[in-house]
Amino acid sequence: MKSQFKKNRRNLIKILASLGLFSIFPIRTEGFNYMEDCITTSDIEGPYYIGNSPNVSILNPPEITSNLLFITGTVYANDCITPIPNAVVDVWHANKGEYDQATNSYLNSNYDDNYANPPYYRAEIYTDNNGNYAYQTIVPGKYPLIPGGNEYRPSHIHCKSSYQNDNALTTQIYFENDTSIPTDTWASNPNSANRIIPLELDQDNNYNGVFDITLNVSPSEIENSFTINENRLIQAIYPNPINKNTNIYLKKTEQKISIELCNVSGQLISKKEDVRNCTISIHELTKSKLKKGIYIIKLSNSQGMTDSKRIIIP
C-alpha cells in the first residue's frame, strides 16, 4: 500500500511539474520533501562491478539470438521531467548464475569491436539528446545467496548512473513475479518497490522492460539544457500505468498532430489524426480493452516533429 502511494505521488509530481502547476497546487507534507522522493532509490553494488566496460548496447554474446531482453528508459533530472543527455548508464549482471569477469588485459587495453575476448553482460551506455537509453541482453540468471545454499538472489541487473562523473547512483532492477523477491533482503525492501518492473513478451518471444532513472541533478546543472515545453510534443501522460482517467497532455501548437498507439514491437493498433486539443483521453486511442503490458504512444506534426512515450497497461 505504501509503495503504491509513493508511485502515485511520483506521477503527481511529474504531471504538476510538466504543466507548471506547482504554484497553483503546492504540495506540502510535514517532514517530507516530494522532489527528493522522485529520485530513484539506491541498492548495493555487490562485489562484481568492474569499471571501463565497453560502450556497447548489446551485452549478450552474438551466438544468443533468441529469448532476448530489451531494456529502455529515460534518465531525468531531479524535477522528474527534464531529460539528461549524455548521462552514463553502467549496467552489469549475471548470466547462468555467474558474472563475466573482465580480464586484466582487457582493463589495460582500449576496447574495440575486434577485441578477442570482450566482457559480456556489462556495458557503459550514454543517453541521447532526449535522455533515452536502451540495451539488449538476456534475462539474468539466479545464483545462491550463499554458495551451496537453498536461497537464491532474484534475477536482477545492477545499474550505476551518473552525469559528468557526479551524483552517481548505484541501484538494482528486479522483475515482477520473481518468486525469490520475498526472501531477498534487498529486493524485498520497500524502497525497491519502484524498481521491480514488469516484463512484456513480444511476438518474437523476447522480453521488454522499461526502467526510468531520476538522478539528484538539478536541471540548471545540465549543459545545453532545454525547456521541455519547447522540445516535446508530449508534455505528460498521467496516470501511467494508465487507467480510465488517464490523459495525454500535448504541447500547444497550431500544427495538426497525428497520434499512434503501437505495441512494444512497433505494430500499429490505432491512430487518431488532425488532433488539435491539448488534452486527449487515452480511451480515444485504445477504443477497446487491451492486454496488460507495455505500449508506445507516437506523435508527429505537419512540420515533421516527432515524439514518443511508453505507457504501461496494468
**Looking at the predicted structure, is the pLDDT value of residue 225 above 50?**
no
Is residue 172 within 8 A of residue 159, CB to CB? The reply is yes
Domain boundary among 221, 254, 274: 221
Whether 179 and 112 share a structural domain: yes
Q: What is the arithmetic mean of pLDDT over 201-217?
A: 90
Whether 217 and 299 share a structural domain: no
Give the global pTM. Answer: 0.66
Question: Which residue's C-alpha cell is 502511494?
Answer: 5
Whether 120 and 210 share a structural domain: yes
Q: What's the full length of the chain, in residues?
A: 314
Is residue 51 within 8 A of residue 91, CB to CB? The reply is no
Domain boundary among 173, 193, 221: 221
Is residue 213 within 8 A of residue 168, CB to CB? The reply is no
In the chain, the number of structural domains is 2
Q: What is the pLDDT of residues 102-132, one digit of tens each?
A: 544 444 444 444 444 678 999 999 888 778 8
Whether 91 and 136 share a structural domain: yes
245: its cell numbers? 482517467
Whether 301 and 152 share a structural domain: no
Dump the DSSP string for 101-131: PPPHHHHTS---TT-SSPPPSEEEEE--TTS
User: At 9, phi and psi to the nearest 5?
Assistant: -65, -40
Say how far apart CA 246 and CA 73 lie, in whole Å.
21
20: its cell numbers? 507548471
Question: Taking the CA of residue 48 as centre, how many other CA atoms within 13 Å lie in the half-sphere pointing to its CB?
Answer: 19
Q: What is the pLDDT of residues 58-95, one digit of tens each?
A: 899 989 988 999 998 889 898 888 889 889 999 999 99
Whether 148 and 47 share a structural domain: yes
77: its cell numbers? 533530472
Say how far apart CA 31 and CA 287 lie, in whole Å.
43
Q: What is the arithmetic mean of pLDDT over 32-44?
A: 70
Q: What is the arithmetic mean of pLDDT over 217-223?
A: 88
Answer yes or no: is 2 within a domain: no
Answer yes or no: is 4 within a domain: no
Answer yes or no: is 19 within a domain: no
Could you tell me the residue range of the domain that residue 270 belongs to?
232-313
Answer yes or no: is 10 within a domain: no
Whether 208 and 74 share a structural domain: yes
Whether 63 and 211 share a structural domain: yes
In the structure, what pLDDT confidence band is assigned to residue 176 with cuts at 50, 70 and 90? very high
- The enclosing H or E element of 45 equals none
Whether 242 and 203 share a structural domain: no
Q: What is the pLDDT of residues 1-30, one digit of tens each?
A: 444 444 554 554 444 444 444 333 343 333
